[in-house]
Amino acid sequence: MIEYVYTWSGAGSLAVIIIVAAIVVDLIIGDPRWLPHPVVQIGRFISFIEKRLNNRGNRKAKGVALTAIVIVSVFFMTYTVVFLAYQLHPIVGIWIEVYFISTTIAIKGLRSAALHVYIPLVDGDLQQARVNLSMIVGRDTKALAESEVVRGTVETVAENTVDGITAPLFWAIIGGAPLAMVYRAINTLDSMVGYKNERFSQFGWASARLDDVVNWLPARVTAVSIWVSSFFFRGGHSSAWKVTWRDARKHPSPNSGWPEAMVAGLIGVQLGGVNFYHGVKSERATMGDPLRKLVSQDIKKAILYMHGGWLFFLLTGVVILLFII
């Protein structure tokens, strides 16, 4: 048996192989229901602790405790499983790490979700497109016009290019499966308790702020990556940076506005505006210029920029792993 002590730093070519293999796995199988998914277990763990901590008392302090417990637990559980797998055999360790990292990215899932809206639109079935959009956004969709359905889909693709693809890749490049899973745990915490309502405004404060921190650099690098990749496609390269710099910080999220404003600038449309949530009107700052009305083909363009963005992002990471770290 070959003894292998798990260490990511300096792994170089092996790290590249693992990350690329994880992407290939995601592109081929995505998230099949028949495979156990670590993120589902993380969600159950968060829910278990939240029900016991989120009560009277100092909710902010208890929320900090929840965040710390989940992060530490996920890191050591992942590290231990990967370490023991490598002790069993290097090939076993590699495949375990490939699997863990593949569960943190969602290239196939994001593309499929967007196409599930696009296909009914081009077939003339606006009602089905609205229904399919409702599965990936929180806004009301029952009465949306076609251009608004397209807007919701393009915004979803642009925003989720970061937390669904490039940010987990960023943390995997730095620390392999353990840090990729920690990132996904933070992202899951934010999606479960990071709401600004009576139950979670204090309790979810730490989770929401930490999610902003771990996405800060990946979001901006992603915007750059999308812009660089756009030179291989048709797009408004000259105006995209102007739009991004002008509008990205208008977004209520400190990070989501960067890829969204970049995509808006490249496609030549305006995103943001008025949404309704359970009948309540919500006005969000607009990004991009209203040069024309959104059409169904803009969804395909958003998917194209998503792919271009993560591919250039990955190429940059490979260079760092091979020649810098």
- For 226-249, what is each residue's pLDDT tens digit? 999 999 887 566 789 999 999 999
- Amino acid 246: pLDDT: 95
The average pLDDT across 51-55 equals 88
Q: State the DSSP code for 250.
A: G
pLDDT category at 1 given cuts 50, 70, 90 is very low
pTM of the predicted model as reported, rounded to 2 decimal places: 0.93
Q: How confident is the model at residue 9 (pLDDT cuts 50, 70, 90)?
A: low
Instruction: Say yes or no to pLDDT of 3 above 50.
Output: no
Beta bridge partners of 275: 282
Give me the pLDDT at residue 5, please.
57
Share of the chain above pLDDT 70, in %: 95
| Tens-digit pLDDT profile for residues 120-175 | 999 999 999 999 999 999 999 999 999 999 999 999 999 999 999 999 999 999 99
pLDDT at 26 over 80: yes
Three-class HEC string of 219-286: HHHHHHHHHHHHHHCCCCHHHHHHHHHHHHHHCCCCCCHHHHHHHHHHHCCCEEEEEEECCEEEEEEE
Confidence of residue 199 (pLDDT cuts 50, 70, 90): confident
Residue 12 has pLDDT above 90, yes or no: no
Name residues whose C-beta falls within 8 Å of residue 155's C-beta, 6 or more positions apart in sequence.
137, 260, 271, 272
Q: Which amino acid is at 191?
A: S
- Asked if pLDDT for residue 251 goes beyond 70, the answer is yes
Contact 269, 282 (CB under 8 A): no
Q: What is the spatial distance between Cα 12 and Cα 253, in angstroms, rounded to a whole number?
A: 34
Q: Per-residue pLDDT averaged across 256-260, rounded?
A: 96
Report CA torsion sign: 11, 217, 158, 35.
positive
Q: What is the dihedral of CA 292, 157, 168, 17, to 10 degrees?
A: -90
Mean pLDDT of 285-293: 93
Lowest mean pLDDT among 19-28, 85-94, 274-283, 316-325: 316-325
Phi, then psi, of 144 in degrees rounded to 5: -70, 140
